[in-house]
Structure 1
Amino acid sequence: MSMSPWRLRLLIVSLLTVAILGALDHTIVSTSLATVAGELGALQQMAWVVVGYTLASTILLPILGKLGDAIGPRSVFLVSLVLFLVASLACGFAQDMAQLVAARVVQGMSSAGLHLMSQTIVALVTTPRERPRYLAIVGAAFPVAILVGPVLGGLITDHWGWPWVFWINLPFGVAALVLALVAVPRLPGIGRQRFDIAGAVAFAVAMVVLVLAVTWVGDERMVAASVVLFAVAAMAFAAFFLIELRATEPLVPLRLFANRTIAAGTALSAIIGVGLFSVTAYLPTYFQMAYGTSATVSGLVPIATVFGMLVSNLATGWLVSRTGHFRAYPIAGTALGAAGLLTMSLLPVGLPLWVPMVVMGVVGIGTGAFMSLVVAVVQSAAPRRDMGSITASVNLVRQVGATVTTAVIGGIIGFGVAALLPASLDASTLTPQIVHAADPALRAEIAAIYTQVFAPVFGALAFVYAAGIVAAILLPGGRLSDESEPAAVSSSEPLTA
């Protein structure tokens, strides 16, 4: 679909505003969780404020992708935005944890629609050549939210109260809705079709059971139940796969993965979730324990990582749209990520903090080089009728990979540290404050333990990025097309104009 330059710019502003709202909603809550749980008197259920949001978002991705293909992405986008605003209002008025979690579930569902339909709309109104630049702009919302969300959430909670963490969405969301009504074009869907109810149920069961399994795996009392749930999740995913192979209109169009571009691009998207997003949450703990930094200073390393990702994401999108050539960027990006994480696994204890900051900044630069680009490349190899579904699939593997690997890494760190700590220390009650107050010999011992536990984690994630180099090399060459319509799917040179 052709759009005038001014309307396209207005559309991108609208989508970016909504993307920032959705991304911030995921990060801004983190610093207010303890206050929320304390005031609502439900500390034990605190994790479900985040888990319910993430789970709902993940489950809805393939469903909303298919719905967008059927009725058009504009309707799904606008309904999602309205639901997001209503849920934000409900979160602030929640009187107990059950009400808050329920409202957060609706927020997660609507956030999935906002994120997914933003990418789908960009794909349908731009040429493959233009797409990387605009997707990079919209995709910049995520690293920006990581940078400013926790700080903003803390300031709002301290000065206005935790309900405003959610209510702050309303004025910006209403403005974004007005912009969207004007800027988002009416894009026709493929019409009424048979909905894959069996696939949706199997996927929902698989994801709910999997999230419960990874949530409980770190609890010694729930290890047996967690093992059973992992088995149930594996069977549910197997059933989902078989259903999708036989469905007339599957939620996830598996037939498209016969295309090398789509298969390799989706694998690269999964590597981002598994290789970097999963470990970011544990970096502050690592540096507080191994380097003896304060909580504030320990946040500098994730900030360096995300800042590198932001700059690289924008630069790569601009360069690819300018030249049309894309293959070198994921190859270089995965190589940088692998080299950086391997270096992290080899760093000795006691180095200045700027050293790991630079190293993780390199990992961020490498990841940003293909973070949004792979979405554009995969979209450019998919037929128009499956644009929402294939965009959902690319995002889905990234989100599931991050969720599962985060839990696995958490379990490895928990068990590893507990096994190596001196008998006089209890891993469950060990805090950075206790470590910083200990004598130098004990601090050095604990620093060595955390380095020993984290080293193989960084090494394993380096191997994941090394596998990404292979996936990047398997991407076909050629240039992104200047044509408005995506090319038909083929296994060779699907992106050449």
Structure 2
Amino acid sequence: MADPEQPALSDAEVVGEKSTQEANPRQDIGIVTWILTLVGLYLGALLYGLDTTIAANVQSPVYQTFHDIQNLPWIGIGFPMASVAGILFIGQLYGKYNIKVLMLASIAIFEGGSALCGGAPNSAALVVGRVIAGVGGAGMYLGALSYISVFCTPRELPLYNALIGLSWGIGAILGPVIGGAFSDSKATWRWAFYINLPLAGLLSPVYFFVFPSFKPMPGISVLQKLRTFDWVGTVLNGAIFVLVMIALTFSGSTYKWNSGSAIALWVIWGVVLLGFALQQYFAIFTTRENRIFPVQFLASKDLILLYICTACAATANATTLYYIPLFFSFTHGDSAIQVAVRLLPFIMVFVVFVMIGGGTLPIFGRYMPYYTIGSALSLIGSALMFTIRSDTAPSKIYGYEVLIAAGTGLMFQNAYAVAAEKVDDKDKPNAIGFINTSQIGTIALALSIAACLFENLGFQFLQNTLVGSGLPDAALRSALAGADSQLLSGIDAHTAELIVDTVAFTISRIFAMGISASALAFCCSLLMKREKLHLSMSAAM
């Protein structure tokens, strides 16, 4: 029934106060409307993935524009940091307000942040734009998942979720390529961010006039809903992710690990984390029903295992995605386009196996084998990547990529459908936010940890390799900035070769994260139930 306080909706919209017992949640939506809606959702997920990784190849030209190295790491970190800091809050919004309105607001925020990035007059403005875009991007991604959960049957859900994950994955894989291509062209790095504007503008009629509406809590006023939010928990939850990324970014590079500043950052983070845990457990300044973190999920072994396995898949996938291009850039001097070719095996296999996972889950119903087989493949691939050196044949690396892509593809997206099936209807938005925190949040954390390892281990390895060379510490750190750094172009060929070999070795050490994550996922998969989910067409979300 439509909300009597709202004006009548057009034929392109449908009010979402549906009974969860209806067999067809899209019975009032035409096939053309649904197809156009899906196109809009998939584009939004793709743009979100694109911006998650697009900074990988634009940081060097940005530095050449602004000459501000202090803000440089935050161009990459700011976007995922803002996303994960707001995920749970945005998830609660989608559980209370009209998802079409929230989706439109998220797109506007994302595009506004992208415009600020493209036109940034200085590095600080660019970082602010990345943070704003990160919030909007998280809203777009959660909005896509919310639309799918509302308008799809449980049997359809795994496949549609896989397509959302596929769109994000393609965007994330293409991000460094597109960013590098624009940076190398006359358009400059600014169009790596401006590109979001015409793409979203092209589908703006779909967003405004075609997207269906759904109101999760009809009959409750906006102010009444605002009073139910866990505002203290929201602030503490966001602070946890912001502080840990600040600590990881500054420790070892800006501040020595044993310095008072580094220790203070980690102590403050620990205090905030403990405060959040206590606030949520005892429901301080909120209620048990309204607290931002679904503490009740911690009593479910199934949900915890799904969370861990999704996080492990995200870790192995993200580190491979970021450091394979860097490896070829150092060892072969590849351009952005050449890196794209190197990533084709990873891209294609990941796409195929995400689709296999989502498409076959409703048929077989048993989710445990996907995680067991997927983690085993990812473990083997990551272990092999740990052995690569600067002279390793590219064909071998392609094979290792394929193993990681297949394994992480099987694990990457299915938890959304499985978790939604295991919770009550009222907890489905929380389940989406819970798994999304695992997936996107872990990508942000994994990349921060990997960057910290790369910078600190790389600096240590270069010091050991070039002992007695007389090169200053600043010059050694600049060698980690890219294969075209000033250090590499200004020294003799033998020393340059030593540096390339050392950096390649450092990159291989990063894959220890994939080994650890995949091994943990394999152990967790063995603890999963051997149950079969009955995803029938009879019950809608």
TM-score of the aligned structures, taking structure 1 as reference length: 0.87
Aligned to 2:274: 238
Q: CA-to-partner distance for each residue in 1:409-445, whole Å, 9 max, x for gaps?
A: 3333334323531312663243646779988876776
2:475 is equivalent to residue 422 of structure 1: no
Aligned to 1:145: 171
CA offset at residue 318 of structure 1? 1.7
**One-letter amino acid of the structure 2 residue matched with residue 123 of structure 1:** S
1:29-44 aligned at under 5 Å gives the runs 29-40=55-66, 42-44=68-70
**One-letter amino acid of the structure 2 residue matched with residue 396 of structure 1:** T
Task: Give aligned pairs, total.
Answer: 486
SS in 1 for 2:536: coil
2:198 is equivalent to residue 171 of structure 1: yes
8 Å contact kept, 2:378–2:518: yes
Identity %: 20
8 Å contact kept, 2:53–2:76: no
1:184-223 aligned at under 5 Å gives the runs 184-190=211-217, 191=220, 192=225, 194-219=228-253, 221-223=255-257
The 10-residue stretch of structure 1 (372-381 or 140-149) with the greater mean CA deviation from structure 2: 140-149
Distance (Å, rounded) in 2 between the aligned partners of 1:144 and 1:264: 26
Aligned to 2:26: 3
**One-letter amino acid of the structure 1 residue matched with residue 50 of structure 2:** L
8 Å contact kept, 2:46–2:168: yes
Q: 1:303 to 1:245 in 2, by over 3 A?
A: farther
CA offset at residue 78 of structure 1? 1.7
TM-score of the aligned structures, taking structure 2 as reference length: 0.80
SS in 1 for 2:411: coil
Aligned to 1:470: 523
Distance (Å, rounded) in 2 between the aligned partners of 1:42 and 1:460: 30
Q: 1:408 to 1:25 in 2, by over 3 A?
A: closer
**One-letter amino acid of the structure 1 residue matched with residue 149 of structure 2:** A
Aligned to 1:111: 137
1:9-48 aligned at under 5 Å gives the runs 9-40=35-66, 42-48=68-74
SS in 2 for 1:70: coil
Distance (Å, rounded) in 2 between the aligned partners of 1:447 and 1:97: 29
Q: CA-to-partner distance for each residue in 1:99-123, whole Å, 9 max, x for gaps?
A: 3332322211111100112112211
Aligned to 1:377: 418
8 Å contact kept, 2:80–2:134: yes
**One-letter amino acid of the structure 1 residue matched with residue 373 of structure 2:** A
Q: CA-to-partner distance for each residue in 1:86-106, whole Å, 9 max, x for gaps?
A: 333333333333333323222
SS in 2 for 1:282: helix
1:69-468 aligned at under 5 Å gives the runs 69-157=95-183, 158-190=185-217, 191=220, 192=225, 194-219=228-253, 221-223=255-257, 224=259, 225-247=261-283, 248=287, 249-288=290-329, 291-292=331-332, 294=334, 301-346=342-387, 350-416=391-457, 417-423=461-467, 424=469, 427-430=476-479, 432=483, 449=502, 453=506, 457-468=510-521
8 Å contact kept, 2:154–2:421: yes
Distance (Å, rounded) in 1 between the aligned partners of 2:51 and 2:517: 29
SS in 1 for 2:96: helix
- Alignment RMSD (CA, Å): 3.0
Distance (Å, rounded) in 1 between the aligned partners of 2:319 and 2:180: 23
Distance (Å, rounded) in 2 between the aligned partners of 1:482 and 1:181: 32
CA offset at residue 362 of structure 1? 0.9
CA offset at residue 323 of structure 1? 4.0
Structure 2: segments with no counterpart, 5+ residues: 1-17, 19-24
**Higher-helix-fraction structure:** 1
8 Å contact kept, 2:233–2:292: yes
Q: 1:406 to 1:419 in 2, by over 3 A?
A: farther
Aligned to 1:67: 93
Distance (Å, rounded) in 2 between the aligned partners of 1:405 and 1:29: 16
Q: 1:88 to 1:464 in 2, by over 3 A?
A: closer
The 10-residue stretch of structure 1 (65-74 or 406-415) with the greater mean CA deviation from structure 2: 406-415
